[in-house]
């Protein structure tokens, strides 16, 4: 059995480590490239969103490398993502015999993840499975913290490229850690390196909140490395969706009955949106309101072309931008989006922020 899974930011690092430590043979799909998108688009229905096509490309490239067991996370929410696994399973099974596992995030994620690991690693002990899940979550949260530190110190450094290089190196180094103590120590070391360099730059840079669809927020290749583009322009970026936070909330807090994502987001989004509109639409509106009330200088809304939940959310977001007089840039991204187009619009948006600051 050779297991592969789709990419999403740095998620592959703890997932691959977790499976390997449990004795599962892993074949990672190549890093996302133009070829991945073209391959996925070729084997996907034309009207589906970009995350579906990229997931499909990851699976196909993993199969090319020898994988015969695919695993993905889906949830039956009010979004087409809930049906991705079924459609992809049918489509890929027509090409080659394979096993397809779905971890259902709309139910108890811990139980579903544990059940999957028991299936693919039958010789692993219960303690070992739980321990590796805990270390994977810890690693993800440390990676989230480094991402936050990069966005904070990068905007304040004279040379943001150095901060970005430290962050990229730090991702690899955290992937080599196997205990809570090692993870904490490495996270502190890398953060200190960034802090030491971030002197002499802007003291109070413009601050932008990035909101929108989860996959586009978390996968830098797909969002054209928007965070790095902004901090290189001296703009601090705050993201409100992180893989580690999501995993911790869904696996730990939800299992303990301490987390209700929809209720929390509904409170934040009122009075501009009073209903769950599917996907991450409600959270986008709630987060935008939070940004306006915490004196952010601007908001960037990222979503895949044709994403209905985010299109519905846009009506509320436009009203928020108007009522609070806050600049808002909406970027709809599909497989045809180019770096040049994204950079041009970002530069114009940043100019707008800096003029407003004066």
| C-alpha span between 44 and 48 (Å, rounded) | 7
Residues contacting residue 46 through CB under 8 Å, at least 6 positions apart: none
Please report the pLDDT score of residue 135 as a whole number: 95
Q: How far is CA 81 from CA 50, 138, 208, 276, 323, in A?
A: 11, 26, 28, 15, 32
Three-state DSSP at 320 gives helix
- Residue-wise pLDDT for 223-270, tens only, equals 999 999 999 999 999 998 888 888 888 777 777 777 777 788 888 899
What are the backbone angles phi and psi of residue 4, rounded to the nearest 5°?
A: -135, 165
According to DSSP, the residues that pair with 179 across neighbouring strands are none
Please report the pLDDT score of residue 14 as a whole number: 94
The Cβ of residue 125 has, within 10 Å, a number of other Cβ atoms equal to 10
The Cβ of residue 309 has, within 10 Å, a number of other Cβ atoms equal to 24
- 260-264-267 Cα angle (round to 5): 145
Tell me the longest C-alpha to C-alpha distance in the chain: 64
According to DSSP, the residues that pair with 102 across neighbouring strands are 72
Helix (H) or strand (E) holding 312: helix 308-324
Token pair of 309 as six digits? 């939940």
Nearest to 174 by CA among 186, 162, 185: 186
Token pair of 266 as six digits? 């509904």
**pLDDT < 50 stretches in the chain:** none
Residue 358 · residue 342 · CB < 8 Å: no
| C-alpha span between 145 and 174 (Å, rounded) | 12
| C-alpha span between 130 and 128 (Å, rounded) | 6
Token pair of 345 as six digits? 């619009």
Q: CA neighbours within 13 Å on the CB side: how many for 322? A: 7
Give the dihedral sign, CA 183/188/189/193.
positive
Q: In what order do the strands lie in the sheet with 99-104?
A: 3-4, 69-74, 99-104
Please report the pLDDT score of residue 228 as a whole number: 95
Please classify residue 239 by burial: count the beta carbons closer than 10 Å to its beta carbon, then call 0-12 exposed, 13-18 middle and 19+ buried.
Answer: buried
Burial 10-43 (b: 16+ CB within 10 A, else e): bbbbbbbbbbebbebebbbbeebeeebbebbbee
């Amino acid at each position: 059995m050779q297991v592969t899974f789709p990419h999403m930011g740095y998620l592959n690092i703890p997932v691959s480590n977790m499976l390997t430590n449990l004795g599962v043979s892993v074949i990672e799909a190549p890093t996302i490239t133009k070829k991945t998108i073209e391959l996925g688009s070729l084997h996907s229905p034309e009207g589906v969103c970009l995350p579906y096509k990229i997931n499909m490309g990851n699976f196909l490239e993993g199969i090319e490398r020898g994988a015969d067991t695919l695993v993905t996370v889906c949830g039956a929410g009010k979004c087409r993502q809930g049906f991705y696994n079924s459609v992809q399973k049918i489509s890929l099974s027509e090409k080659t015999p394979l096993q397809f596992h779905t971890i259902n995030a709309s139910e108890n994620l811990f139980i579903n993840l544990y059940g999957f690991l028991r299936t693919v690693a039958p010789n692993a002990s219960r303690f070992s499975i739980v321990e590796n899940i805990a270390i994977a979550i810890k690693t993800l949260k440390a990676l989230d913290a480094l991402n936050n530190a990069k966005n904070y110190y990068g905007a304040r450094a004279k040379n943001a490229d150095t901060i970005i290089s430290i962050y990229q190196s730090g991702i690899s180094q955290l992937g080599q850690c196997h205990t809570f103590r090692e993870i904490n120590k490495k996270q502190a070391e890398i953060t200190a390196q960034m802090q030491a360099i971030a002197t002499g730059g802007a003291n109070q840079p413009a601050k932008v909140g990035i909101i929108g669809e989860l996959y586009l927020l978390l996968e830098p290749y797909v969002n054209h490395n928007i965070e790095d583009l902004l901090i290189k322009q001296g703009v601090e970026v705050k993201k409100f969706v992180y893989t580690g936070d999501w995993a911790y909330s869904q696996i730990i807090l939800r299992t303990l009955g301490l987390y209700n994502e929809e209720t929390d987001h509904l409170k934040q989004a009122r009075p501009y949106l009073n209903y769950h509109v599917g996907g991450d639409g409600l959270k986008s509106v709630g987060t935008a309101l939070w940004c306006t009330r915490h004196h952010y200088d601007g908001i960037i809304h990222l979503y895949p072309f044709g994403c209905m939940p985010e299109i519905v959310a846009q009506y509320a977001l436009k009203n928020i931008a108007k009522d609070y007089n806050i600049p808002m840039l909406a970027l709809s991204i599909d497989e045809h989006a180019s770096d040049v187009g994204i950079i041009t619009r970002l530069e114009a948006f940043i100019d707008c922020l800096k003029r407003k600051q004066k």
